[in-house]
Chain A
Amino acid sequence: MNAMNMRDEPLVYELSREGRIGCSLPRSDVPSKEIPLEIARSELDLPELDELTVVRHFTRLSQKNFSIDTEFYPLGSCTMKYNPKANEVVASNPGWKNLHPLVGEEYAQGAIELLWRLQEGLREVGGFAAASLQPAAGAHGELSGVLMIHAALKERGETKRKKMLIPDSAHGTNPASCTMAGFTTQTIPSGLDGGVDMEALRAALDDTIAGIMITNPNTLGLFEKNIEDICRLVHEAGGFVYGDGANMNALTGVFKPGRSGIDVMHFNLHKTFSTPHGGGGPGAGMVAANETLAPYLPGPIAVKADSVYRLEMPAKSIGRVKAFHGNFGVLVRAYCYLLMTGSDGLRQVAENAVLNANYLKSLLEKVYPVPYKRHCMHEFVAKGAIADTVHTLDIAKRLIDYGFHPPTIYFPLIVQEALMIEPTETESKETLDLFAEAMKRIAEEASKNPELLHDAPHIAPVARLDEVMAARYPILCYRG
Chain B
Amino acid sequence: MAIDKNARYLESHEYAKPEGELMVIGISDHAQAELGDVVFVELPNVGKELDKGVVFGTIESVKAASDLYMPISGKVVEVNEEVKNDPSLVNKDCYGSGWLIKVAPTKLSEFESLLDAESYGTSIGEV
> A411 near B64 (CB under 8 angstroms)?
yes
A472 touches B87 (CB 8 A): yes
Question: Are A472 and B64 in touch, CB under 8 angstroms?
Answer: no
> Is B66 among interface residues, defined by CB-CB distance under 8 A?
yes
Majority secondary structure of chain B interface residues (helix, strand, loop or mixed): mixed
User: B34, B37, B63, B87: which has the most chain A beta carbons within 10 Å?
Assistant: B63
Decide if A471 touches B62 in the complex (CB within 8 Å). yes
Complex-state Cα separation, A467 to B64, whole angstroms: 12
Within 8 A of A (CB), among B20-77: 34, 37, 39-40, 60, 62-64, 66
Find out whether the CB atom of A467 lies under 8 angstroms from the CB atom of B66: no
Q: A410-B63, A411-B64 are in contact. Are A416 and B34 (CB under 8 A)?
A: yes
Interface of chain A residues 388 through 415 with chain B (CB within 8 A) = 393, 409-411, 413
CB <8 Å contact, B64 and A471: no
Are A468 and B62 in contact (CB-based, < 8 A)?
yes
Counting residue pairs across A and B whose Cβ atoms lie within 8 Å, the total is: 22
Known contacts A472-B39, A472-B87, A472-B88: A467-B62 contact under CB 8 Å: yes
Q: Chain A residues near B34 (CB, 8 Å)?
A: 416
Which residues of chain B are near A472, meaning CB under 8 Å?
A: 39-40, 87-88
Let me know if B66 and A471 touch, CB within 8 A: no
Q: What A residues does B37 contact at CB under 8 A?
A: 467-468, 471
Contacts of A471 in B (CB 8 A): 37, 39-40, 60, 62
For A, the interface residue count at a CB cutoff of 8 angstroms equals 10
Q: A410–B63 Cα gap in the complex (Å)? A: 6
Collect the chain A residues with CB atoms within 8 Å of residue B60's CB: 471
Q: Are B39 and A468 interface neighbours, CB within 8 A?
A: yes
Q: How far is the CA of A413 from the CA of B62 in the complex (A)?
A: 13
* Interface pair B39/A410, CB less than 8 Å apart: no
By beta carbon, the residue of chain A nearest B40 is A471
Contacts of A411 in B (CB 8 A): 64
Within the complex, the shortest CB–CB distance from A274 to chain B, in Å, comes to 30
In the complex, the answer to whether B40 meets A410 with C-beta atoms within 8 Å is no
Determine how close the nearest CB of chain A comes to the CB of B66; give it in whole angstroms. 7
Q: Are B64 and A413 neighbours in the complex by a CB distance under 8 Å?
A: yes
What A residues does B87 contact at CB under 8 A? 472
Q: Which chain A residues border B39 with CB–CB below 8 Å? A: 468, 471-472
Contact pattern, A 376-393, Cβ under 8 Å of B = 1, otherwise 0: 000000000000000001
In the bound complex, residues from chain A placing their C-beta under 8 Å from that of B66 are 413
| Bound-complex Cα distance A409 to B64 (A) | 10
How far, in whole Å, are A413 and B35 apart by their CA atoms in the complex?
Answer: 10
A410 CB contacts on chain B under 8 angstroms? 63-64
Name B residues whose Cβ lies closer than 8 Å to a Cβ of A: 34, 37, 39-40, 60, 62-64, 66, 87-88
User: What are 8 A-B pairs at a CB distance below 8 A?
Assistant: A393-B63, A410-B63, A410-B64, A413-B66, A467-B37, A471-B39, A471-B40, A472-B88
With A393-B63, A467-B37, A471-B39 known, 16 other A-B pairs at CB within 8 A are: A409-B63, A411-B64, A413-B64, A413-B66, A416-B34, A467-B62, A468-B39, A468-B62, A471-B37, A471-B40, A471-B60, A471-B62, A472-B39, A472-B40, A472-B87, A472-B88
